[in-house]
Structure 1
Amino acid sequence: MQLVEDFTNDFLNINTVIVALITTGLITVMTILTYFLEHRALRLRQPRVTLVAHGLEAASLVVSMLLLRQIFFTINSGSMLSWSYATAQLTVLLFSLYTMRNLAVEIINILMPILFYGQGMYFGRGAHFVATFITMTVLLSSAIIYFSRHRSSIMGSQWRYLALQLVYGGTWWFIIWSVHRFELAYTINVLIVFIVYMWIIRFCVQRISRLIDRFTQLDQKVNYDELTGVRNRASFDTVQAEVFKAYQDRPKLPVTMAMFDIDHFKRFNDQYGHMTGDAVLKHVAQHFEVALYKQTTHGQLFRYGGEEFVVIFRGTPADKARTTITAIRDDLQNEAVDFNGQKLRVTVSFGISQLQPNDVTFNDWFSRVDHYLYQSKEAGRNRITVEGNTLAVG
């Protein structure tokens, strides 16, 4: 009877309900934040952006743990010894592994039992159970590493998902036991509560994830070109307005626009057919998209229309943008398009200009870039015109 009474006091009270609701709220916020950050990193495809996104995800986990601790500390008059609190903490930690494909989060999960046991040792507890702690920490770390390498198969299988919860929760309870001794029967009840709670959380997260995925798919259709996969004219119109305003407010920071089109594109359609023309468009778009990513530039590529593309380089002067563009263009010329057994050589013409203080409207800037592109084509195509200076083929 004492076991039942203790279990009821820990889990069936108003404070536990409050902690459960707060935990669910924190998890919802973490889910939305993670999807936003991952989607942003995927769109920009820049290592620095991905690093910042993962840093913010890890920070959200740490903040959530601290908030949960402070809230529980407040509503329980300074006491932290409760299984409902431990369950809430483990739920947030395990949830972070499910949703965040993030090395920092995995490291936090591995370090948490070490910090917990270290705190217990500081208060004079757990000294006789070092072997138990080490064994359980190794098992827990192994489970975390295994999950990071087999995430998709585990999340897609209910039995593997259940097994991970059992290993994760079971090892953690033994780690807690090394500091706070408790009865085995009570531990089993707590583990069952943890597993049920995680199943409820998983159900809610799946529903939220599907909703976010729908918004992501809608954003993909609205802002990305269906043929080439790069940002489209609608996305360009949105970004150009933001960029123009931001850099007008900070005139000392450079921003450069490059506009290019595929030389003699009509010939590809007329001579080889429209499917060949589509293949050339995809090839050029993907070549520039991947090259801009590999060079870790601040360049964003847009398909403006037809065979015309625009690249906006934030924080980049015109001469540096020219160097980047020249290298990518040279590689493009050396990489023939292989379509239906035919090797097609593709060249492009460029107009490049940096935003100037006397550009009153975006159209002033854009018209100048467009004029420089026309100047490159008039000079014989396969040229780059930078601030009115047309450069010969390298």
Structure 2
Amino acid sequence: MTWSHWQVPPFVTGVFFILGVLTLYWVTYNWLVSWVHQRRFKVTDDVVNTWYGVIYMLVFVFSIQTLVTGTSMSWQFMNFQLIAVIFCAYFLNIHVSYYFFLPIVLIYMLFNGSIYYWQSWAHALTLMTFFWVLNETRVKCHSHRDSLLLYLLVTIPFGGLLWFWMKLKFNFSWAVFGEEWLYLVIFEVLLYLYVTMLAHDSELKVRLARFASHDALTQTKNFAAYTDAMDDYFHRSRADDQPLSMMMFDIDHFKQFNDTYGHSVGDLVLREVATTVQTVLDANDLPATFYRTGGEEFNVLFPGTEVAATKPVVDQIFAAINHLEIQADDHKFNVTISVGVSAVVRDDRSPLDFYNRVDRNLYHSKRHGRMQITVA
């Protein structure tokens, strides 16, 4: 129809169809991941990627095959289906065990009415082998500088073998065989270039997002990230009646480091303190997020945690920093911190109410000799 009515070759429309299907996948996948994150489900992005990728491509493959099932042209959309397999196995890096893959293949063969043909069994075994080889190629060669060449060294011969089984089954001409194999190779190259372009764009967005939400000096999350998280945690705490605690601290006499030794030493102190705190948090199972919210001021949010439960971690951070010895050129010095800790209470009407109370606790520590923890 595309050629006879609009003078557009089916191959060209096929290219746009494939790109449209893949674009729809990325859009819906990103929406799904955002939805999962917003609701804080304990599901990793890899799990979402695996299940959604498999389900999406199975729906695509079965849906398109319904148009030609039971006809002498039931091979017509095979290139689209092979691209779906390549996309899942190589670009999404989805690993499917044989005990899961085999039932899918059998169901498809029953659906397509091809289970009684030996060529279909040869095709199915080749397809499963193709999938697993693509997995291994992705893991071992994806970062290689010749990754496109290695990718094609796998996809081209497997594609030819898969089309060879179809030629034996349907007895179409060698010209058709060569044409379909060539179309598949072109699809494979376009798929590689398209996904690589999207991946590069995604990596750039990730870097920009990190730049916007992280402090460049200490690599902790910054005040903007703190504000977003605090607003979310606070309203969840009020809505679900869940605890929320916060530790706020700053470095005692920090201005003296800059005035006495220079700003480079002050920066070193900030980095060492941030690294020490993150090390303590990583060593504990308590859910916590670390932020640099001011010059020498830092905050740790403990969602779903009462103040009493944060005490061991707060004490570890306090002790670790107060025993921290920093070497800068010929100078060696120690660092101390003052700390304020509190939790959300019913009288808090906004995140600012909560923040101000923790801030008052911090300044109580500073006004009463520094190097101490105030909890209230």
TM-score by length of 1: 0.75
What is the Cα deviation at residue 54 of structure 1?
0.8
Letter in 2 for 1:247: S
What is residue 138 of structure 2 aligned with on the other side?
Answer: 147
Say if 1:370 and 1:255 are closer, same or farther in 2 by CA, change over 3 A.
same
What is the Cα deviation at residue 113 of structure 1?
6.2
Q: Which of 36, 59, 69 is the aligned partner of 1:67?
A: 59
What is residue 26 of structure 1 aligned with on the other side?
Answer: 21
Q: Which of 58, 62, 66 is the aligned partner of 2:50?
A: 58
> How far, CA to CA, are the matches of 1:139 and 1:69 in structure 2?
17
What is residue 291 of structure 2 aligned with on the other side?
Answer: 302
What is residue 353 of structure 1 aligned with on the other side?
Answer: 342
Report the 3-state secondary structure (helix = DSSP H, G, I; strand = E; otherwise coil) of the residue aligned with 2:81: helix
Report the 3-state secondary structure (helix = DSSP H, G, I; strand = E; otherwise coil) of the residue aligned with 2:143: helix
> How far, CA to CA, are the matches of 1:256 and 1:210 in structure 2?
39
What is residue 257 of structure 1 aligned with on the other side?
Answer: 246
What is residue 202 of structure 2 aligned with on the other side?
Answer: 212
What is the Cα deviation at residue 188 of structure 1?
4.5
1:316 aligns to 2:308 (yes or no) = no
Report the 3-state secondary structure (helix = DSSP H, G, I; strand = E; otherwise coil) of the residue aligned with 1:147: helix
Q: Which of 76, 81, 85 is the aligned partner of 1:89?
A: 81
> How far, CA to CA, are the matches of 1:288 and 1:150 in structure 2?
37
What is residue 3 of structure 1 aligned with on the other side?
Answer: none
> How far, CA to CA, are the matches of 1:335 and 1:366 in structure 2?
27
Please say if residues 348 and 383 of structure 1, whose CA atoms lie closer than 8 Å, have aligned partners that are also in contact.
yes
What is residue 105 of structure 2 aligned with on the other side?
Answer: 116
Please say if residues 15 and 75 of structure 1, whose CA atoms lie closer than 8 Å, have aligned partners that are also in contact.
no
Please say if residues 299 and 311 of structure 1, whose CA atoms lie closer than 8 Å, have aligned partners that are also in contact.
yes
Please say if residues 233 and 305 of structure 1, whose CA atoms lie closer than 8 Å, have aligned partners that are also in contact.
yes
Say if 1:269 and 1:138 are closer, same or farther in 2 by CA, change over 3 A.
same
Please say if residues 73 and 79 of structure 1, whose CA atoms lie closer than 8 Å, have aligned partners that are also in contact.
no
What is the Cα deviation at residue 109 of structure 1?
9.3
Structure 2 gap segments, 5+ residues each: none
> How far, CA to CA, are the matches of 2:168 and 2:47 in structure 1?
31
What is residue 229 of structure 1 aligned with on the other side?
Answer: 219
Structure 1 gap segments, 5+ residues each: 1-7, 389-394
TM-score by length of 2: 0.78
Letter in 2 for 1:378: R
Report the 3-state secondary structure (helix = DSSP H, G, I; strand = E; otherwise coil) of the residue aligned with 1:309: strand
Give CA deviations for 1:28-53 in whole Å, capped at 9, x if unaligned: 24445667899999x9xx9x96x521
Say if 1:200 and 1:241 are closer, same or farther in 2 by CA, change over 3 A.
same
> How far, CA to CA, are the matches of 2:362 and 2:315 in structure 1?
14
What is residue 200 of structure 1 aligned with on the other side?
Answer: 190
What is the Cα deviation at residue 60 of structure 1?
1.9
Identity across matched positions, percent: 24
Count matched residues: 368
Kindly report the root-mean-square deviation, in angstroms, between the aligned alpha carbons of the 2 structures: 4.2
Report the 3-state secondary structure (helix = DSSP H, G, I; strand = E; otherwise coil) of the residue aligned with 1:259: strand
